[in-house]
Amino acid sequence: MFTGIIETLGTIQDVRREGTNIHFTVASTFAQELKIDQSVAHDGVCLTVVAVDGHANTHVVTAIDETLQKTNLNSWQLGRRVNLERCLAANGRFDGHIVQGHVDLTAVCESVEDQNGSWLYRFRHEAGPGRVTVEKGSICINGTSLTCFNSTDDGFSVAIIPYTYEHTTFQDLQPGDQVNLEFDIVGKYVAKLLGR
């Protein structure tokens, strides 16, 4: 389980296809602390560490076909920066919201507006059961826990403060880019119970 509070940025160092899988080598500041079998969220996608190179400060994760179909990982290329978060420690603070690392679908960034001190982003996604946002509710975008507003059946907006902008990949995000979305787990259960 994760909280959507990004720890550091990683950089894709290698992309290797093997059958329907893709192996990603990621460089980061905490690679030396990782262990094989550990779960790490990469742009909101929970992936298992399969190799660690402490000297190169890199780790390797594998994305299978199901993951590649539901996320934007198919588009990852060398040099891309990704948001990284290790799983929540049992004695850690819960600063964001409950994030499973199970991406529901991708969305498209429709617009980015510099508001002279913050940034306003608008996202559009496919409407459907369980894809519910509420005003001032939680949403996870590329692994980042955020509060949404201007919520509709197929879209929402978020406002990004300078700290989040500087310490996540939101600074790289442009209109037309695809992002990974994980809807609030509580909202998904309520929606299912109500038949939405």
Assign domain 105-194 to its CATH architecture.
Beta Barrel (2.40)
pLDDT in tens, 70-120: 999 999 999 999 999 999 877 777 777 888 899 999 999 999 999 999 999
State the pLDDT confidence band at 179, using cuts at 50, 70 and 90: very high
pLDDT of residue 170: 98
Asked if the model's pLDDT at residue 24 lies above 90, the reply is yes
Break the chain into its structural domains and give their ranges: 8-86, 105-194
The pTM for the full model equals 0.93
Residue matched to tokens 């902008």? 165
pLDDT of residue 128: 86
Kindly state the percentage of the chain with pLDDT values over 70: 96
Tell me the C-alpha distance between 92 and 126, whole Å: 35
In this chain, the answer to whether the domains covering 8-86 and 105-194 adopt an identical fold is: yes
CATH (residue range 8-86): 2.40.30.20
State the pLDDT confidence band at 175, using cuts at 50, 70 and 90: very high
**Alpha carbon separation from 1 to 110, 121, 131, 143, 185 (Å, rounded):** 29, 26, 20, 12, 12
pLDDT of residue 196: 62
